[in-house]
């Protein structure tokens, strides 16, 4: 983790053992965005994956919720089947514009937004800029507040090295570290998605996260928020430490991708949160 538009285009039907859905291409602010849309009814839930993540990383949650409500998973710009931006715009605010484009295209007035890791930064940025569009926020092992970190020249050097030829070796080592305690299926899925993500997307997103005022965005949103974390996300700069009043729940014995490692446990937390904000 990092401590750790509006026009619908081609629509392709996809199958699911529980409910049918659609894989859609949506015109975003800076390229075409791929989304996975399933179910109907209820307050919609929009899922935003981590850096180098894709809609497939939310499959257990889509299958779980689609029989009772509309669910949407988004490939953010430069990820999965979504286009990279024409200019290097990978800040949380840029990703938030993708989220707005998706909600507008699907005619969703309001949604619960669930963001994992970097997806939590996109969720926070979107909620801060569009509070009336967000019913509630569920942050999954979210980004910390970089403005509360001590200076770390070593991390600056690491980011510089990531821009060079050593990128494949360095990024795989980092992902291996935060996949500790992952199930084999989680590791295989996450590593494949990471290796398919362009280097520029990863590096520029990581750089932009070091400047993101996550605390300010969290403070700006007045609706319900829950942070679900792993033990590796417990720094002085972690949001639940910077904001002691933030509702916080911890899941142990999992990797950074806790919703893939323990989908039943995570879905129980998700259900309880959705029931409270219904």
Give residue 12's pLDDT.
30
Q: Is residue 147 part of a domain?
A: yes
pLDDT value, residue 6: 27
Rounded mean pLDDT for each run of 10 residues along the chain, 278 residues in total: 33 38 91 97 97 98 97 98 95 98 97 98 98 98 96 92 97 98 98 98 97 98 98 97 97 98 98 93
pLDDT score for 269: 98
- Tell me what pLDDT residue 30 has: 95
- 182's CB contacts (< 8 A; 6+ apart) are 190, 254, 255, 256, 257, 260, 261
Query: Smallest Cα–Cα separation from 171: which of 149, 141, 191?
Result: 191
Residue 261 in domain:
yes
Tokens at 213, concatenated: 């005022």
Is 172 part of any domain? yes
Q: Would you say 187 and 261 are in contact if contact means Cβ atoms under 8 Å apart?
A: no
Give how many domains the chain has, as a whole number. 1
Question: Domain range spanning residue 157?
Answer: 8-276
Go through 136-172 and write b for each residue having 16 or more CB atoms within 10 A of its CB, e for each that does not. bbbbbbbbbbbeeeeeeeeeeeeeeebeeeeeeeebe
Q: What is the pLDDT of residue 5?
A: 27
Asked whether residue 47 is domain-assigned, the answer is yes
Residue 234 lies in a domain: yes
Decide if 30 is inside a domain.
Answer: yes
Report if residue 118 sits inside a domain: yes
| CA 72 – CA 176 distance, rounded (Å) | 28
Domain CATH number, residue 241: 3.40.50.1820
- How many angstroms separate the CA atoms of 238 and 178, rounded? 16
Q: What local confidence, expressed as pLDDT, does residue 238 receive?
A: 98
Task: Give domain status of residue 2, yes or no.
Answer: no
Asked if 117 and 4 count as a contact pair (C-beta separation under 8 A), the reply is yes
Structural Rg of the chain based on CA atoms: 17
- Could you tell me the strand order of the sheet in which 71-75 lies? 8-14, 21-28, 31-38, 71-75, 45-48, 111-116, 134-140, 225-229, 247-250
């Amino acid at each position: 983790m990092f401590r750790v538009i509006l026009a619908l285009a081609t629509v392709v039907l996809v199958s699911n053992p529980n409910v049918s859905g659609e894989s859609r291409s949506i015109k975003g602010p800076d390229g075409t965005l791929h989304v996975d849309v399933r179910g109907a009814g209820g307050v919609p839930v929009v899922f935003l994956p981590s850096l180098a993540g894709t809609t497939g990383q939310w499959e257990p949650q889509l299958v779980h919720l689609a029989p009772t409500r509309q669910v949407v998973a988004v490939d953010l710009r430069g990820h999965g089947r979504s286009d990279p931006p024409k200019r290097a715009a990978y800040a949380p605010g840029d990703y938030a514009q993708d989220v707005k484009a998706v909600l507008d295209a699907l005619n969703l007035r309001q949604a619960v937004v669930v963001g994992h890791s970097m997806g939590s930064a996109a969720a926070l940025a979107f909620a801060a800029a569009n509070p009336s569009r967000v019913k509630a926020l569920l942050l999954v092992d979210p980004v910390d507040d970089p403005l509360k970190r001590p200076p770390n020249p070593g991390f600056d050097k690491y980011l510089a090295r990531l821009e060079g030829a050593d990128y494949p070796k360095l990024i795989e080592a980092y992902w291996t570290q935060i996949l500790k305690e992952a199930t084999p299926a989680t590791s295989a899925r996450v590593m494949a998605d990471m290796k398919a993500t362009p280097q520029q997307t990863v590096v520029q997103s990581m750089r932009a996260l070091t400047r993101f005022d996550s605390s300010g965005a969290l403070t700006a949103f007045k609706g319900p928020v829950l942070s679900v974390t792993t033990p590796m996300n417990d720094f002085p700069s972690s949001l639940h430490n910077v904001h002691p009043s933030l509702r916080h729940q911890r899941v142990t014995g999992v990797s950074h991708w806790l919703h893939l490692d323990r989908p039943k446990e995570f879905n129980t937390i998700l259900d309880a949160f959705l029931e409270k904000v219904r």
